[in-house]
Amino acid sequence: MVAEANHGKTLETELDGIRYVRIPIKTRLIGPDDDIVEVVTTFAGDQIEAGDVLFVTEKIVAITQGRAYPVDSIVPRPLAARLSKYVTKTPSGIGLGLPETMEMALRECGTPRILLAAAVAAATKPFGRRGDFYRVAGPKARGIDGPTSGTIPPYNSQVVLAPDRPREVAVRLRAAFAKPVDVLIVDINDFGGNVLGSTMDRSSERTMERILKDNPLGQGHESTPMGIVRRVG
C-alpha cells in the first residue's frame, strides 16, 4: 500500500522530536444498515500494523448507530428557534446554529441543561470567554453536526448526533483485530478536535489530539472517515 495524503494535508508530522505518519483510509458510502466493526475491519484490516493507532470519526460511528436524521424530519420547538439565534457560526460547521440542530440538543441533553448552558454563556461572554455553552452542555451537544454543503450526500441534508457509548465502540473495534492496536473515536475538524472514546489513557489521548489537530482526514468529500497513526521515527 502506498499512502496518499488528502488534498491540502500532509502525511507526516513531528511531535516532541518523534515523527508520525497519518494514513487516511478511503471507504464506500456508509449507512445506518452497516455494522461499524465490519466496516472498519474491511477497509482497515489489510493496512493496519501492530502498534498502530486507528482513529475513526465520530460521524461514521453515529451513522451506523442510526443517529443521523434528515433535517426536514425534525420539527423544532419555539425555544430551539430562539436559542439557535445566539449561536456563533464558524467555518468548521453550523453546530447548533439551526433550530433543527438546537432541537436535537434539547432532546439529547435535556432542556434544563441547555438552558443552564445558555445562561452561563450569556453571563460570561461580556468578559471575553468563549466555549462555555458547550463546556456546560457537554459532549453530546458539542458532537451534533448540522447539514453542510461540503458533506457527502445524503448527509449534507442531515443532522448527525454524537455517537452512543464511544468508548465501548473503541473497545469492540480493538478486539476485532488480531494485532495489538489502539482505537480512537474522534471529533476533529480544521480547527482542532478531541477524543470521544478510546482504548488509551487520557495522557495518550491528549498526545493523539495534538498529532491530529490539523485534521489529516479533511473536511469535505474525501470519503476517508478513518485513518492510522503510525510512529516512524
User: What local confidence, expressed as pLDDT, does residue 170 receive?
Assistant: 98
Per the prediction, the chain carries an average pLDDT of 91
pLDDT digits (tens, 9 = 90+) for 158-204: 999 999 999 999 999 999 999 999 999 999 876 677 899 999 999 99
Going by C-alpha positions, the residue among 56, 49, 52, 41 that lies closest to residue 1 is 49
pLDDT digits (tens, 9 = 90+) for 34-88: 999 999 999 999 999 999 999 999 999 999 999 999 999 999 999 999 999 988 7
pTM over 0.85: yes
DSSP tally for the chain: helices H, then strands E: 9, 8
SS3 84: helix
Per-residue cell: 14: 513531528
SS3 141: helix
Q: Which domains does the chain have, with CATH numbers?
A: 12-67+163-231 (3.30.1330.100), 76-160 (no CATH)
Percent of the chain past pLDDT 70, that is, above it, reads 95
Look at strands 226-231 and 182-189 and give their pairing: unpaired
163 vs 74: CA distance, rounded Å? 18
219 pLDDT band, cuts 50/70/90, is: low
Going by C-alpha positions, the residue among 22, 51, 19, 21 that lies closest to residue 222 is 22
Per-residue cell: 53: 493507532
Judged against a pLDDT cut of 90, whether residue 128 lies above it is answered with: no
User: What local confidence, expressed as pLDDT, does residue 57 receive?
Assistant: 95
DSSP state of 24: E
Q: Cis peptide leading into 32, omega within 30 of 0?
A: no
Going by C-alpha positions, the residue among 187, 181, 227, 230 that lies closest to residue 26 is 227
